[in-house]
Chains A and B, each alone.
Chain A
Amino acid sequence: MDFRFSEEDEAFRREVVDFVEAELPWDWRNHEVDSEEPDGLKLVRAFKKKLADKGWLTRAWPREYGGQEASHMQQLIFGVEMSYRGIPVDDGGVSMVGPTIMMSGTEAQKRFFLPKISRAEIDWCQGYSEPDAGSDLASVQTRAVEDGDDFVLNGSKIWNGAHSGAGWMFMLVRTDPDAPKHRGISFLVAEMNVPGVKIERIPCMWGADRSLVTFEGARVPKSGLIGEKNMGWYVGATLLDLERSGANYSARALRLLEDLVDFCKENVRDGRLLSDNPLVRSRLARAAVDIEAARLVAYNVASMQSKGQIPNKEASISKLVGSETLLTVYGLGMQILGMYGQLDPESKWAPLRGRFEKGYMMVGANTVAAGTSEIQRNIIATRGLGLPRG
């Protein structure tokens, strides 16, 4: 056991931090970028290109696909430093589509997609959820029917980021409606700018949107089928595990905690500095402990991955603990900011540029998206602990 980063990993971390501090085109401490809005996406794209030039986006990938064969730890370090600074570099391409294609794609698909992902030349949105298929993802109904060299798509995908202008969607579609539900699904990647694709925005409480994508006879090339037809559930399931390593939650929470500590050292309530209030001190300290516990659980997932082990309940625990901790820290922030916490970022009186008000509204989504907390607990209990299914 060794809780330190190796010298090499630590050197890499320093290099990443120095680079970001010097090159990031916006002030991450004072400005949040929404990569799902056109302006934000433009900024993020440009910066991702620079990261890609360094080879960092896909550092752990094999060289032939644009990687540097670095350890999973370095991939984690990179992800953590980005999350800590709120830099939205991953649209699913690096963490989900790439690994899936590497595992299940044809040689031609690997040669086509992987370098593009590695060089940040394409943007992705995730077409999993449907209006009637959320937690029960295997009940997806979007139909894909083979016709010549194409699939013809009919159905809808919801809650994704298609409105950002992402060029590609990776999705689960139904290719055999008669088979048992897990056995009639295929994993498909497709370009969004084809006829028959309608994208509607769904405004959300925090002021940004999600999308409803409706396919009405949209034709997409069959060459986008990843893995075997009707085996998409198993192709995509590996991807969910990758999605669930969860180090980003504690990284984001840590940054919030640091903001709060600074705030408490500078602001007086009822005649004393917040940082001198024992109640505030105890709660901040408790949050620091929560974050540390979540961080270590996530690092263990990466540690397992770097040894070639496949995390199972560990990934679900990490997602659960990480996302719940992030909720706690936003809640704590709002509690400490008190009356000021309710102010929108536009208000000149808003502390910490209103980040907590916005984030507080948004944070509840973290225990819903990418597998709800209840689903994570189900997985931990059944797959992880061997308890009988309810």
Chain B
Amino acid sequence: MDLGLNEAQQMLKTSARDFLEAECPDTFVREMEEDERGFTPELWQKIADQGWLGLVIPEQYGGVGLSFFDLTVLLEETGAAMLPGPFFPTVVLGSMSIMEAGSEEQKRALLPGIADGHSIVTMALLEPTASWRPEGVEATAVPEDGGYILNGTKLFVPCAHVSDRIIVAARTGDAPRDVTLFLAPRNADGMTQTLLKTIASDRQSELVLTDVRVPASDVLGEVGRGWETVEKVIAWGAAAKCAEMVGGAQRVLDMTVEYAKQRVQFGRPIGAFQAVQHHCANMASDVESCRYIAAQAAWKLSEGEAARQEAAMAKAWVSDAYRRVCATGHQVHGAIGFTKEHNMQLYSRRAKEAELAFGDADFHLETVSQGIEL
């Protein structure tokens, strides 16, 4: 057993940190919160040049061919830097589901474009039912003229506004898991996209599908078996989100400890008061636990295991812990942490989004209770 990073992973982490420090400082994060698109094509191209967009894509499709675990090493840094834009959806939702379920032809057609930065991809899974279970998919896909006609409303779709392709989950039968994935172009006739204003200032959308036609060649994976892919995407997404959250939580801890050393009240740094020390110690314990429970899930998934239980445990724990870390971070910062100028609130708003993405603690605890044979 060795719970440390290997040398290559350590290098990836360091170079990611250096890159993000230069290209994605907090001033940029703030600017992008107000920006229409929420990211810049310039940075996107630089990210592609780093090889990040193809990090887990095999070399034969233009990628770097690293593992899912390596990706989570990188995501810890993007979470720490709060990298805005469609990196997460494109890599985790887009490239990974195409790698998992795509035909050879689809992989060859789509993955190189993702890796080199030309193609942004996301997944439209949730609906007004707001459920991460297959029953929540009510959008329909009806066969016609050798293709499919899609109808329905998708909600909380990350970065749909800048995506070239949207992987749409739609119902192709009445059995709960009778769901199929479709690779729809965003500018397809009958698809209307509206941005939703959210707590994290990320860019989620409502997507209304009205008689959207998709050719049979754009079915991703087998008809009626899309949920098998979705289930994996939820587990990957959960583990990948956890990595981002660990990065964010570590930053919140660091900045809070730093502030506790600097801020003087009653003639002493506030960090000299045991009440504040205990807050910081609780945060540190949370971050430490987050780190290993998240890493275990990422590692098992990376080894090709289903890791249902580990991924669920990780997301259940980290979702709540990150929120706690932020709440305590705010408490230690006092009034200053609530100001827009301060980074504390940038993290705490994102913590809420991250907590909800790919299922909150309640959702994953249900999986855990099945896992312990309840």
Contacts and interface: CB of A to CB of B under 8 A. Distances in A.
A364 B264 CA distance: 21
A387 interface: no
B265 A135 contact: yes
Interface string B129-143: 111010110000000
A340 interface: yes
A136 B266 CA distance: 5
Given A269-B130, A343-B197, A361-B349, A369 B276 contact: no
Interface stretch (B106-114, B228-236, B329-337): B329-337
Contacts of B340: 203-205
Interface string B312-336: 0000000000010001001100110
B338 A372 contact: no
A357 interface: yes
Of B128, B198, B267, which is in contact with the most chain A CB atoms at under 10 Å from its CB? B198
Q: Which 10 A-B pairs have the closest CB atoms?
A: A344-B197, A205-B345, A136-B265, A374-B275, A203-B340, A339-B130, A342-B199, A136-B266, A364-B330, A342-B198
Given A349-B155, A364-B331, 9 more contacts: A136-B266, A339-B156, A339-B356, A342-B352, A344-B198, A347-B197, A364-B327, A365-B338, A368-B330
A9 B276 CA distance: 43
A143 B370 CA distance: 65
Contacts of B338: 204-206, 364-365, 368
Contacts of A335: 360, 362
Given A270-B133, A334-B352, A343 B331 contact: no
A22 to B, nearest CB: 35
Interface residues of A, number: 47
A325 B341 CA distance: 28
A334 B319 CA distance: 13
B255 to A, nearest CB: 15
B6 interface: no
B274 interface: yes
Interface string A279-313: 10000000000000000000000000000000000
B130 A340 contact: yes
Interface string A299-339: 00000000000000000000000000001000100110011
Nearest to A357: B199
Contact of A342 (B136, B206, B353): B353
B292 interface: no
A271 B135 contact: yes
A180 interface: no
B126 interface: yes
Contacts of A2: none
A206 B71 CA distance: 33
Interface string B330-374: 110011001111000100110011001000101000000000000
Given A203-B340, A335-B360, A374-B276, A365 B335 contact: yes
B211 to A, nearest CB: 23
B223 interface: no
Contact of B339 (A204, A327, A331, A390): A204
